[in-house]
Structure formats: structure tokens, C-alpha cells
Structure 1
Amino acid sequence: MKRQVTIVLGVLVILAGVGVNKYLSSKAKPPKRNPQGGKPTVLVQKVQNGFVKNTIPVTGKLVAKNRVELFAEVQGSVLNSGKTFKEGVSFSNGSRMLKLDSTEFHLSLLSAKSDFLNSLIQLTPDIKYDFREELDRWNVFINSVNIEQPFPALPKSKNKKFLNFLISRSISNQYYTIKSQEEKLSKFNLIAPFSGTLIEGNLQPGSMVRVGQKLGTFIQGGEYELEVSVSMNDGSLIKIGDSVLLQSEDIPGNWYGKVVRISVHIDQSTQTLKVYVNVSSKKLKEGMYLTGSIYSGGFENAVSIPRNILIGTNQVYLLKDTVLQLHEIKVLSIGENQAVIEGLSDGSKILGQVYSAAYNGMIVKPQLEN
């Protein structure tokens, strides 16, 4: 009996509690979003339209402007040529960087030259009797040949019959084969195309080098290209010759560059395009990362605002008396911290701070930014 009474009392208490809660809820007034006398103070920015410089933030890695990958075009063992062929070694323009043993090939070339001279001497009687007007020129050529030196040019002739005669005796074929071998002989000496430094390479005297083998990488310091990626919108604003101001996080200083190339290819994964900037300094090194800004013209009748006060992609809060109203604007450019917009009249005021509680129609107490 006592247990039944306890259960009934518990049910009555629960029902009474639910009833009281509903009664109090029905009497409570909904809170006002902006009660009179409790207007929040917000910072507002006064709009002054004018010319706004367009700055596009960029970052990229330096690559030497003069940079060549070195490959072997002939086969031979490495000879001692004075300087070692290793990373960090510098060479002046026109100096020999590497020398390969060309003894066997050189002897083969001398043999070919001797055979060619022998063929010419044997043809002299035929030239004398059949093409007397050509004899003097060919005698001068034969006497000027030194098999230890590059061959001079063949004598010119307008006699078509005589030229056909030389071709039939394989004189032209032998001559151009020898000139080809002379050119190949020069490749046993690797000559520096400009003054620079090896950034890759390690060949010791006695090492065997084969045709097509990569020998190293040679760069000229001081002149660099910076490859940066920009959005398609920013890319449409950049022009060849635009100025660029660059900095490094690792060493102090500012460097000025110029836009020299703009790619027309869009990277499918990032939807960006490449822009190339020339920059010169002996302090800079290949592989360094630089950050900076491209100064690409500007915008008339526009204003720069903090990027974080944009609402969505194309709205700001405009102050009408003391009421915030959403206002649609046109975004011309967006940087890391600032956005350039148009569509606001001079003297109008906009919400100049991030205020998460703001809403359309909110009454505020404006405070003008200094």
C-alpha cells in the first residue's frame, strides 16, 4: 500500500513540474535582437574613392637565367686539365672545363686527311688536261692544306661539269666527312659557354665518359628568373614590364624585378598561370624562395578595404544613419589582407571591423575610425 502511494505522489510531482514550466514559458517575452539603449558600438570607415594601386602578392623559387645541362657528345677518358670538374668550381667564359682523351680519334682524322690529299694529287693530271682553268685554284688549295690544322674551304667553281667530276671522284664526300670529324674532335674539350659555376658534377681524371652521359649542370650567378603562380583574375591584370618588389625570409634586403614572361597555359590542378620575373643580385642564390608584390597599374574610382570585412564575395555592411544595411559591391582585386572594391559613393560609411553579431537592419552606435 505504501509503495502505491509513493508512485502516485511521484507522478503528481512530475505533472506539476511540467505544468509550471509551460506556464512560465508562455509568460516569457522573446529577447530583442537589439534592445533600445543597448546599441553596440562599432567602428565604421568613411569611403573616399580614388586611384588605388594594384599590388598582387607572389612567392616563388629562383632559377638561374643562364643554366645549361652538360652532356657528353663523344666518348673518352677524363684527362687532367688544371681544374677539377666538381660542384662549386667556377670557370670563366671560353675556358676549358673538361678534357677527354682524343688520341685515337685524332690519329684516325689525320689518316683521313692524308687519304684526301692523296686523292687530290692523283686528280691533278685530269684537272690539268680537262679543266685547265681550275688548275691554279686547286694547286693553291693543295699547297695551303696542313693536316694538323682544320681544312680551308674548297675552291669555288661555276663550272657545273667540273663540280660533277669532283663528286664522281668522291672528293666532296671525303672533304665534308673530314670537316664533320674536325667538328667532332673539338667536342673532346668542353668549353664554358659563359662565366659561371658548376652546381652539379663530379668527374675524376681517368673516369670513362660515354656518349649521352650527363656531366653536370652549369649556371651563371647574379641573373635569375623567379617563377610565380597567380590566379586567372590577377593574371589578366599583369603586363610585361610590370615592376616587382621582392624580399627573402632568410637574408635582409629588397630586390626589384620586372615581369618578362606570362604563360598562357592554365594549371589544371590549381587553376593558376605562371608569371616569370627577372631579378639580379649577387646576394641571391639559385633555389632561394622569395616573396613580394607585383605592381600592375591600378584602379580608378575605387577604395581599398580590409579583406575580412567582406560579406560573402560581393557585399559589405553600409551604415544608413545608425542602421546596418547589406550593400552589393564589385570586387576588383583581392590581396592577402586587402580588397579593392567599387560601387560605393564618396562620404558613405561602411562597417570597418569584423563583427560576427551584425545582421541586416541592426541598429548600432557608430564610431569613426581615425
Structure 2
Amino acid sequence: MRKIILSAIGVLLIVFSFLFAKKLIADKHKPKPVKEKVVKTVFTDTVKNATVKIVIPANGSLVAKRRVELYAEVQGVFKSSRVLFKPGQKYSKGQTLISIDADEHYASVQSAKSELYNTISAIMPDLRLDFPEVYQKWQNYLNGFDLNKSTPKLPEMTSDTENYFITGRDIVSSYYNVKNLEQRLSKYKIAAPFSGILTEALVTEGSLIRSGQKLGEFIDASVYEMEVALSKGYASLLKVDEPVVLHSLDGTETYKGRVSRVNGSIDATTQTITAYIEVENDALKEGMYLEAHIDAREEQDAIEINRSLLLEGDDIFVVRDSVLDVIPVKPVHFSETTVVLKNIPEGTVILKKAVPGAYTGMLVKPFDNQSTKTNTK
């Protein structure tokens, strides 16, 4: 019985070995599977050379074009007025900003003017006798002399003898002393040099003001300037009166400005050139931060593409017979996200979006947006 079982196991092993060997021979002659060629779908664009505007981006904060820092040149008590001297207060041109008590100095001016008048009056009899030809003009001067008005200019002296006579009586020196006191009297009132708004007030009514003390700041709120620092490469592109479009940080507001001034020198440390952009708008305030786009120049026969499409060595990918290839180009301007290129033949098919792992000779298929729309219907 044992011999029969061993014989049966041996026969089964021979049969299994034969079938396994037959399968190995069959698999050896089976053809290898052919790998399918992968064709990647890409977004393409056809080159149409045109005029491209070179726009220089910049940003900065607004500063009033006309600004006055108010300082006292005399000493006295700040007199109260109908309009409070407070930040945000508006003033018209010529309106009094600050009035300092000048009663004491005014009395000195009137005293000096009275002395001048008396001195001229005292020489009138001598003029009638010794210089009758000039008597009348000095009499007319006295007739027009008003203590409550500014001292009139002395009559013009026509001869040396008249000049010696008048100067010898200290009339000329007294006249200039009076004019000096009158000039100082005018400093007790500070008037607005233009219509604007007070942005800083450092004194209050009733306080003692000292000579040389800063009183506040006054600006013209109708015209602002924005100072921007640009790369020295843009020095030849900036032009005065060039229009500029400015945007608020959130992009909701747009303002029109112009390049008012361009600095003639380049900063040696930063290698930048400073330009000033003038803008007028009632909605603007000093200190606002804006973004500017300056139209520098126009480049003929050029295109603008994303910077990611430009390869090292100034090449870009093109599509020729469903195969990627590269051609040399000439970059003429770089911005943060785009580049302006020249020397690309009209009608050349280029990539519109960068393809990861792209290489020369890669098989591609342009994306057909129209067929996609048709299939979705």
C-alpha cells in the first residue's frame, strides 16, 4: 500500500513539472507590451507683435506740496480771536492765523513816528528861506503824513545841498528807524500765505509766546506730492508732465496725477533716482499711501508674457508640429510678474502657461477650448 501511494505522488510530481515547464516556454515567446507615448496638453498662444506700454510701478505717501512751519519772531501773549487756533481749522488766504499782543511795541512805533514828524516840521522855516525850490514838496510830505498809517517814503532829494541839509538833521536815520519798527510791528500778526488747513497747533490762546518758538504747521490741502524712488535704469525714461495713474491700497479708488519734478542726481548709496508725482483731489489727505503706475515709454513690435515663461539664456518654448522647441528672444523690460520681449516672429505659437518638466522635443497637444465647450453641451 505504501509503494502504491509513493508511486502516485511521483506520477503527480512528473505531471506538474511537465505543465510548469510548458507554461514557462509559452511565456518566453509572449511579445513584450509596448509603452504608449504620453502627449501632454498645454495652453498656447499665437504671437501678435504690437506696441507695448512700459509701466513703472512705484509707491509712497502723500505730502502737501505747499507747507509752512509757523515760528514766532517776536515775544508776547497770544491774543484770542474768533477762529480757534486748533488742528483741522481752515483759513483763507490773508486771514490772521495768530495775533500777538503788540500794544507796547505799537506805542514805541507811534512815538518814533511823532518824533520824525516833529523833526521835519522844525526845519520847514529854514527850508522856506534857504531852499525855497524844495519847500513845497516837503510841505506836501507833511500834509500826507498820517500817524495811523504806514510812514510814507521821504521825498526824493534833487541836490547835494538839500541832501546834506536833510541828512544833517538826522531825518533820514529817523525815517529808517521808524520803518524798522513798523516792519517789526507787522510780525505780531501771522497771516495765512494761502488758503489751507492747520495740521499742528503747539500754542493756545493766552499763552506767552517767545521769539523763535514753533507755533504749528499750515498746509495747502488742495495739492499733494508723492515722492518715489526708482531704479537708476529708469532715469532716461522719466519725463516731466508724464501722466500717472495712482491707486489706493485696496484698489477701490483711482486718481490722476503727473510727474512734476525729477531729481537731477542719483543717490550714491541706493542707486535710485527720486521723482515727484503731483496729484489734486478733494478726497486725498496728507499721509495717505498710494501706488503709482508711471507710463515710461512705448516699445514697438513687442509682446508681454509672464516671467515664468522666460528660460535661462533668454529663450522661450515654442510649439512646432506638436513638439516643444526653444527660440532666442530679446528681453527689454522686466516687471514683478511680466517681461516685455522682442525679436519673436509674427504668428509663432508659444506656451501661455509654464509646463512643469518641459524639455525640447517633448510631445504636446494644444488645449482646444472650443472642443471642450462642445463636449460639455
- For the 8 Å contact 1:40–1:365, the answer to whether it is kept is yes
Match of 2:366 in 1: 367
Cα separation, 2, equivalents of 1:327 and 1:314: 9
Which deviates more, 80-89 or 248-257? 248-257
Cα separation, 2, equivalents of 1:77 and 1:251: 49
Which deviates more, 140-149 or 41-50? 41-50
Which deviates more, 224-233 or 157-166? 157-166
Q: What per-residue deviation string (whole Å, max 9, x for no partner) do you get for residues 136-194 of structure 1?
A: 11111122212222111211232233224333333222212211221211111111112
Cα separation, 1, equivalents of 2:176 and 2:153: 10
Instruction: Give the letter aligned to residue 227 of structure 2.
Output: E
Residue aligned with 1:120, SS: helix
User: Structure 1 residues 345 and 168, CA, compared in 2 at 3 Å: closer, same or farther?
Assistant: farther
User: Structure 1 residues 363 and 188, CA, compared in 2 at 3 Å: closer, same or farther?
Assistant: same
Please list, as runs of the form range in 1=range in 2, the aligned pairs for 1:1-370 lying within 5 A after superposition: 37-249=37-249, 252-312=252-312, 314-359=314-359, 361-367=360-366
Instruction: Give the letter aligned to residue 362 of structure 2.
Output: I
Q: TM-score, normalised by structure 1?
A: 0.82
TM-fit CA distance, 1:330: 2.5
Cα separation, 2, equivalents of 1:314 and 1:69: 54
User: Structure 1 residues 122 and 300, CA, compared in 2 at 3 Å: closer, same or farther?
Assistant: same
- For the 8 Å contact 2:41–2:367, the answer to whether it is kept is no
Residue aligned with 2:78, SS: strand
- For the 8 Å contact 1:243–1:296, the answer to whether it is kept is no
Instruction: Give the letter aligned to residue 317 of structure 2.
Output: Y
Cα separation, 2, equivalents of 1:129 and 1:245: 78
User: Structure 1 residues 190 and 358, CA, compared in 2 at 3 Å: closer, same or farther?
Assistant: same
- For the 8 Å contact 1:247–1:291, the answer to whether it is kept is yes
Match of 1:22 in 2: none
Cα separation, 1, equivalents of 2:167 and 2:36: 109
TM-fit CA distance, 1:226: 1.9
Instruction: Give the letter aligned to residue 46 of structure 2.
Output: K
Instruction: Give the letter aligned to residue 209 of structure 2.
Output: V
- For the 8 Å contact 2:89–2:198, the answer to whether it is kept is yes
TM-fit CA distance, 1:102: 0.6
| Bigger Rg, which one | 2
- For the 8 Å contact 2:324–2:363, the answer to whether it is kept is yes
Instruction: Give the letter aligned to residue 353 of structure 2.
Output: Q
User: Structure 1 residues 132 and 364, CA, compared in 2 at 3 Å: closer, same or farther?
Assistant: farther
TM-fit CA distance, 1:368: 5.9
Instruction: Give the letter aligned to residue 286 of structure 1.
Output: E
Q: Which structure 1 segments of 5+ residues have no match?
A: 1-34
Residue aligned with 1:106, SS: helix
Residue aligned with 1:332, SS: strand
Instruction: Give the letter aligned to residue 112 of structure 1.
Output: A
Cα separation, 2, equivalents of 1:164 and 1:328: 91
Q: Which structure 2 segments of 5+ residues have no match?
A: 1-34, 370-377
Match of 2:20 in 1: none
How many residue pairs get aligned? The number is: 335
- For the 8 Å contact 1:47–1:349, the answer to whether it is kept is yes
Cα separation, 2, equivalents of 1:171 and 1:92: 40
Q: TM-score, normalised by structure 2?
A: 0.81
Residue aligned with 1:336, SS: coil
TM-fit CA distance, 1:275: 1.6
Which deviates more, 230-239 or 176-185? 230-239
Q: What per-residue deviation string (whole Å, max 9, x for no partner) do you get for residues 45-96 of structure 1?
A: 3221111122222212111222211111221110112222121111122111
- 4+ residue runs of structure 1 moved beyond 6 angstroms? none
Which deviates more, 181-190 or 160-169? 160-169
- For the 8 Å contact 1:78–1:99, the answer to whether it is kept is yes
Residue aligned with 1:215, SS: strand
Cα separation, 2, equivalents of 1:313 and 1:151: 81
Cα separation, 2, equivalents of 1:224 and 1:369: 51
Cα separation, 1, equivalents of 2:313 and 2:233: 14
Query: Root-mean-square deviation (CA), in Å?
Result: 2.4
Instruction: Give the letter aligned to residue 366 of structure 2.
Output: Q
- For the 8 Å contact 2:57–2:292, the answer to whether it is kept is yes
